[in-house]
Amino acid sequence: MDNYARLMNKDTVKAADRAHVFHSWSAQELIDPLAVAGAEGSYFWDYDGNRYLDFSSALVYTNIGYQHPKVVAAIQEQAAKLCTLAPGFAVDVRSEAARLIAERTPGDLDKIFFTNGGAEAVENAVRMARVHTGRPKVLSAYRSYHGATSGAINLTGDARRFGNDSATAGVVHFWGPFLYRSPFHATTEAEECERALRHLEDTVVFEGPASIAAVVLEPVVGAAGVLVPPPGYLAGVREICDRHGIVLVLDEVMVGFGRTGAWFAADHWEVVPDLLTFAKGVNSGYLPLGGVAISPAIAETFARRPYPGGLTYSGHVLACAAAVATLGVMAEEGVVEQSARTGAELLGPGLAELAERHPCVGEVRGMGTFWALELVRDPATREPLVPYAASGAAAAPMAAFAEACKKGGLWPLTAGNRLHVAPPCTVSAEDVARGLEILDGALAVADAHM
Ligand code: PMP
């Protein structure tokens, strides 16, 4: 306790952080992390009492907000009973978490392989697909993010793979649909959909279908842009995979468990993948947990032959207890329905109104509690407010915009030239209104950089 008390002041926390914590995705000496003293619901606060409305849901994972009392109590009760047990044992909360997840995931995905997070889920989905098909290659989208372990970062088509390229052989990238910056020069959603599907089909044919184990795809692309696919796209991808015997992996790590206003994003289009990866919202990130939901056909491959993979903390008991409690809260409190309503009635119309008032907003897109504003220098040419993969001085206009959000009391999630708007699925109407008002002020700062 003495040690803990010694840390409980802004300066000591920051000094130890600066001296010893090596931060993700950052130039260590160019960052100045906020020292956070606590969090509850849609807010966290610093040691000076400044409260921030968290429109990032941490990294898009606190779907039920911070410190939900029922989940906190479930973790405490489980900790008092049994903290941990090796993955090889049947444990009540692990069985129950798997049962609940299997019940919620689309179609007949009935077996759950647990991991500690999203990247490990993607790694294992790819491994399952490769062993199941006996084929080596994996296709994924340029505009995607699948995690930062060596396999997952190579599936990632986004600039964050730079510096890690070629750690895994056999990854081929393709372009998914994105009408606002159409890779296919399409002008309508139907045209974009048709051309994107033809491009994927051509990619499959020219790579050799018999060499392709899986297509790995985010049903709504998350970190690389909040890209909602046109109607018919996912069903078309499913059809291409079926015709060529390719495993369809839908990566629902960011969009699963209510984020888009459905339990899973694939539910919007009634598409059932062969493998579905999840993490984040499964227990609102209160403890690290992810996994793969598996089709009967792929599960059958490993019925009498050992699965060649595993993790020490697979299905960690405390993380599973948090998942059981979180899924209970989501059902009892109608969290998925609330996310859908908030998107349709508050965030969608509210953000569209901001776009009308602020010329820097090139496009608003999203669903549920999952939106992005594309900020541009010029709405006519759609030139991004900052160039692709910009850093340092080139990224300054977005940094100024983010700073203005924070000054107003809103914690933003920005990526490239985009503001991602992803409050907890449980965010109140008052807090949405408050957030939109703060964004209104901050967007004026971005307008000035046009
Ligand atoms: N897949 C997707 C779609 C993601 O959004 C993320 C994380 N943002 C990952 C995989 C990786 O998850 P993790 O950081 O838990 O490894």
Reported confidence tier of residue 1, pLDDT bands at 50, 70, 90:
very low
pLDDT, position 240: 98
Average pLDDT over residues 118-140: 97
Using CB distances shorter than 6 Å, the residues near ligand 1 are 59, 117-119, 122, 145-147, 218, 222-223, 251, 253-254, 279, 290
The answer to whether 271 and 215 are in contact (CB under 8 A) is no
Which domains are delineated in the chain?
34-64+334-447 (3.90.1150.10), 70-332 (3.40.640.10)
Task: Give the residue, 212 or 2, on which the prediction is more confident.
Answer: 212
**Per-residue model confidence as pLDDT tens digits over 136-183:** 999 999 999 999 998 899 899 888 888 876 656 799 999 999 999 999
Q: H helices of 9-68, where?
A: 10-20, 57-60
Q: Which of 61, 146, 313 to mutate to test the pocket of ligand 1 (most atoms within 8 A of CB)?
A: 146
Q: Which of 133, 90, 152, 101 lies closest to 276, judged by CA?
A: 101
**Per-residue model confidence as pLDDT tens digits over 183-201:** 999 999 999 999 999 999 9
Q: Report d(CA 284, CA 279) in Å as an integer.
A: 9
Average pLDDT over residues 47-59: 97
pLDDT, position 304: 97
How many angstroms separate the alpha carbon of residue 400 from the centre of ligand 1? 27
pLDDT, position 160: 86
Residue nearest to atom 12 of ligand 1 (CA): 118
The answer to whether 264 and 104 are in contact (CB under 8 A) is yes
Atom of ligand 1 lying closest to residue 254 CA: 5
In the numeric block, the tokens 């889920």 are attached to 121
Atom of ligand 1 lying closest to residue 60 CA: 8
Q: What is the ipTM of this complex?
A: 0.99
The chain-wide mean pLDDT, for the chain, equals 96
The answer to whether 266 and 253 are in contact (CB under 8 A) is no
Q: Report d(CA 358, CA 280) in Å as an integer.
A: 32
